[in-house]
Chain A
């Protein structure tokens, strides 16, 4: 198991200023502290939709890498998106799932099928070009750069534990200023 913030720090070292990143819920609060950036796409509107927003962004901007940092509970709400992404096959989409087995932001209740659900297997059978699983942060650090250089869609299941207590100011995610900053940054670059 990896601590989520350590994992995200390792990932952040390989994210460039041109990349679009879509983190969700608890991961988002860690990510915006680790890597604040106007091209963080934070407002997904409804739980589970991050991977779908990511597909739209990847199709609309094939010149950029689009990196979605999903949650396991979130992905379970939109499992069909794996199949849609596999079929659309955007080469610039990188789909990470932070698997901690809980709805962390909603009270820490377990996800259904906790410990038995095979997210990597789902992605593999849905047609992702490459699928990875990581539970050791040292190995993740060694391989994440190469993973982000592979043609997508690429899926990576990150077996993580929580980073600890968070201050969750949701205006940092849902506020209109966040969306405007993203819009401006995407138009400018």
Chain B
């Protein structure tokens, strides 16, 4: 299920711009961003998204709420993105299992990998909480993509388009703090 980060993006001193990710989110026709703040994406993504008028930001109390909200929006034909931390993803496994996987709904999740070392593949991280994410997604049959550097940003729009075309969930793993 994995599509890994491109080679250049694996450099520890690589870079990732929040503005380019946001441009992809907008190009993907995302109308709602549903979020619990995440340390990795707080400054580079969530703060500028909060200052914009579109997409509309819905702040939620807990990540599994967001799975339900995005499902309801999907039935209405409105695209949304759940922007969370991997701790929140782990906390929401049952909701993702029931709503996204078993009901086959296009729940698109952008997940900041808390404490992942820049340039290090998630499964090679020294952090247990990072290493287990991709194996769990594999076990659940959920497609995911590593977004580690600018070269990976063009994966975002096709991943979201495909999720909606196939009515399947997708996870975009943000591997370093976007500037």
Contact = CB atoms under 8 A, between A and B. Distances in A.
A56 interface: yes
Interface string A114-151: 00000000000000000000000000000000000000
Interface string B90-105: 0000110111101100
Given A43-B103, A49-B95, A52-B68, A80 B75 contact: no
B58 A49 contact: no
A84 B103 contact: no
A46 B103 contact: no
A182 B75 contact: yes
A105 interface: no
A94 B112 CA distance: 34
B62 A49 contact: no
B69 interface: yes
B140 interface: no
A59 B78 contact: yes
B72 A60 contact: yes
A27 interface: no
Interface residues of B, number: 31
Interface string B52-75: 000010111110111111111111
Given A81-B61, A83-B61, A49 B75 contact: no
A87 B59 CA distance: 8
B interface SS class: helix
A59 B32 contact: yes
28 contacts: A41-B72, A45-B67, A45-B102, A46-B64, A46-B68, A46-B94, A46-B95, A46-B97, A51-B68, A52-B68, A55-B68, A56-B71, A56-B74, A57-B72, A57-B75, A57-B76, A59-B58, A59-B72, A60-B72, A60-B78, A80-B60, A80-B62, A81-B65, A83-B61, A84-B58, A84-B60, A84-B61, A179-B103
Interface of B: 32, 56, 58-62, 64-78, 80, 94-95, 97-100, 102-103
Give the 8 A-B CB pairs with smallest separation, nearest first.
A56-B72, A80-B61, A60-B76, A52-B68, A45-B98, A45-B99, A49-B68, A57-B72
Interface of A: 41, 43-46, 48-61, 78, 80-81, 83-84, 87-88, 179, 182-183, 186-187
